[in-house]
Amino acid sequence: MKKLLILVCALIPAALFAQQAQPPKYALVIGNGAYSSLTPLANPVNDANDVADALQRLGFTVDKVINGNLSQMDNAVIQLKNRLSVTKNAYGFFFYAGHGVQSGGENYLIPADANIPGANFLRSRSMSVQAMMDEINDAGNSLNVIVLDACRDNPFGWGRSGSRGLAVISHQPAESIIVYATSAGQQASDGQGRNGLFTSHLLPNLLTPGLEVAEIFRRTGADVAEASSRAQVPAVYNQFFGTAYLGERPVVRPPPVFEAGAANIATGSLEISTVTAGVIQITGAGVDQTMELPAWGSLPIERINAGVYRVVMRYEDGQVEERAVEVGRSQAAALDFAYRPVPVPVPAPKPAASPPIRMNTLGVALGTSIPAPGFVGTVYGTITPWKYSF
């Protein structure tokens, strides 16, 4: 006899598990590595391509700039702001990999074709991080994530005696999470493989199902710090106090009905069997569950809270059986439903009429009958002999 496995999620309407609709999501990804007048970087283009692919898998509409000049970078930021301005609940994501420097407490992202002979030219020939954040903030959307995998080193000879890395942001937009690949004033590793150290650990966390956005960067920071023996510790500045998922929200399933209850509630087991197919309903002790059982089916419930249950079995012919069963703590209870529908009488087939045998070869007088060596059995058990007629 086959036993049915209880799949609670199949017994509750699918609407209860419907995931909330995802907000519109837009991203801008920039990777600058092929610098024309600075030290080239091996991984930013790979970083940008891989992050763009990951964000697209998460449902983002992604714009990508590879080895861009200042005009391309500025225009892409304006495009991102315009997209985010359409609706208040939109999510924005800005990712930059490449050279970045600080000067006078301000941070700048360096275009691929940059020719910057001194610090005074940074404002006109590179992208101000603060200006970029202010532009995106003007969209007024619900969440913006800004990730800067920059500050690998200061590539300019005139800047080697100055501060290293990027500076702490002076004004963080509301509803934003700002992530630096390393702490303020420190340098980030360009990495030895396909990706930079930070991005190599960001990617798997981005694509881990069900992670809340803050948890993505908490895990990434811990992974980078561990991989570098704390030589590189990412910095996360969080002004977002809500809950957001960059991918699909996790499916929150209620606990199994038959294993629900506080830990101090004693449990037992119950097995319900039936001869005839029907729909069974179990109520009592916090349980109200309905499911179908086939003919000669069995429903084993390994853990059910101790208590008294009302069990109703409804059959296709309209008949109903109702029982009460008590399940004791650490005890096994059983309940059998033995109802069988009354069989509908089947009319007995009438035996085919035997044509009379008109012969007189046996010397029997015409018009007489004698028993034949055979009989017909009906569904009712009546035995009817054959007869020969002459």
In the predicted model, what is the mean pLDDT of residues 75-104?
94
Q: Hey, what domains does the chain have and what are their CATH numbers?
A: 21-238 (3.40.50.1460), 257-337 (2.60.40.10), 348-390 (no CATH)
Identify which of 52, 14, 20 has the alpha carbon closest to the alpha carbon of residue 248.
Answer: 20
Claim: this prediction has a pTM higher than 0.75: no
Two tokens at 237? 């500045």
The 8-class DSSP code of residue 8 comes to G
CA-to-CA distance for 116 and 113, rounded, in angstroms?
A: 10
Among positive and negative, which fits the CA dihedral 115, 120, 124, 130? positive
The pLDDT of residue 188 is: 64
Find where tokens 């399933």 sit.
Answer: 253
For 151, other C-beta atoms within 10 Å of its C-beta total: 24
What pLDDT digit, counting tens, does each position of 115-142 carry?
A: 998 888 999 999 999 999 999 999 999 9
CA-to-CA distance for 158 and 142, rounded, in angstroms?
A: 40
Identify which of 46, 127, 61 has the alpha carbon closest to the alpha carbon of residue 93.
Answer: 61
What pLDDT digit, counting tens, does each position of 199-231 carry?
A: 999 999 999 998 999 999 999 999 999 999 998
The 8-class DSSP code of residue 3 comes to B
Find where tokens 């590595």 sit.
Answer: 33
In the predicted model, what is the mean pLDDT of residues 38-61?
95
CA-to-CA distance for 339 and 311, rounded, in angstroms?
A: 14
Highest mean pLDDT among 170-179, 221-230, 334-343: 221-230
Cα 275-279-282 angle, rounded to 5 deg = 100
In the predicted model, what is the mean pLDDT of residues 134-153?
89
